[in-house]
């Protein structure tokens, strides 16, 4: 369970060109809770974060503080203007992405409006995601996994056959924001793109029409 304002993170990737999996009942979450306000002034410059960013696969077992989780989720999809614009660009401002955080015990779904999250128990989700990711060690070892997921239909309604490319580009924009924020905060993180999308969606019990595009294991750096 999430204890003492500390949890691990998972981001779900937004996908395109991938048929929606024939899902059963979607998971049910608890009442939304507020996340700590994101910090606007970081510990390092943007240029330093770019220079420091590496794919790091070794993590301490400690859970991520909730402030770090909130900062990473805000970097990926936070709202930054009164008219609803977000941290990552989106074709037509349609915002198909959905972010999730997976820990050893829970799953968190990010709600950009109000910078909140809804949480549900999910003890078996992380091992199921690791299995979907062909057994890759970082997915099982990281205290948090950020999952970047998407609802392609939001973009397809306007852009038709071009929507897939736009959704995948947007997932990349959000993932880079998350990775640079991790680098700026001294966290270890690695993007994972090799996984069975249908199996990952099933592990997360996503609603019909959502697909997983990216997994980002993240945690306190062990070195």
Q: HEC states along 162-195? A: HHHHHHHHHHHHHHHHHHHHHHHCCEEECCECCC
- Give one DSSP letter per residue of 60-75, joined into a string: -SSPPBHHHHHHHHHH
Q: Render pLDDT for 111-146 as a digit per residue (tens, 0 to 9).
A: 999 999 999 999 899 999 999 999 999 999 999 999
| Beta strands 97-102; 144-150: pairing state | antiparallel
Distances (CA, A) of 17 to 63, 148, 197: 34, 15, 12
- Angle value at C-alpha 116, between 147 and 194, nearest 5 degrees: 5
Indicate if the alpha-carbon torsion angle 67, 152, 191, 107 is positive or negative.
positive
Report the chain's mean pLDDT, rounded to a whole number. 89
Which pTM does this prediction carry? 0.88
Domain 12-17+44-220 maps to which CATH number in 3.40.109.10, 3.60.21.10, 3.30.2130.10, 3.40.640.10?
A: 3.40.109.10
The tokens for 135 are 């057994």
Q: Which residue has the tokens 């690695």?
A: 190
Per-residue pLDDT tens digits for 174-220: 999 999 999 999 999 999 999 999 999 999 999 999 999 999 999 99
The pLDDT-based confidence of 223 (bands split at 50, 70, 90) is confident
Supply the pLDDT for residue 21. Answer: 40
CB 76 within 8 A of CB 12: no
Cβ atoms of residues 148 and 214 within 8 Å:
yes
Q: Are 10 and 146 in contact (CB under 8 A)?
A: yes
């Amino acid at each position: 369970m999430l204890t003492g304002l500390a949890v691990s993170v998972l981001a779900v990737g937004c996908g395109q060109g991938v048929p929606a999996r024939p899902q059963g009942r979607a998971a049910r979450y608890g009442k939304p809770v507020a996340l700590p306000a994101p910090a606007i002034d970081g510990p390092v410059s943007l240029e330093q974060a770019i220079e420091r960013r590496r794919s790091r696969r070794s993590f301490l077992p400690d859970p991520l503080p909730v402030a770090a989780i909130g900062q990473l989720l805000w970097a990926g999809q936070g709202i930054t203007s009164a008219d609803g614009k977000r941290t990552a660009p989106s074709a037509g401002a349609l915002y198909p992405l959905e972010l999730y955080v997976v820990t050893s015990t829970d799953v968190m779904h990010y709600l950009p409006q109000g910078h909140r999250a809804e949480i549900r128990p999910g003890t078996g989700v992380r091992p199921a995601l690791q299995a979907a990711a062909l057994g890759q060690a970082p997915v099982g070892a990281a205290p948090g996994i950020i999952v970047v997921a998407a609802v392609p239909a939001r973009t397809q309604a306007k852009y038709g056959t071009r929507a897939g490319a736009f959704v995948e580009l947007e997932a990349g924009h959000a993932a880079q924001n998350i990775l640079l924020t991790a680098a700026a905060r001294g966290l270890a993180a690695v993007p994972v793109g090799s996984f069975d999308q249908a199996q990952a969606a099933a592990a997360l019990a996503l609603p019909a029409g959502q697909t997983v595009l990216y997994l980002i294991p993240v945690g306190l750096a062990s070195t």
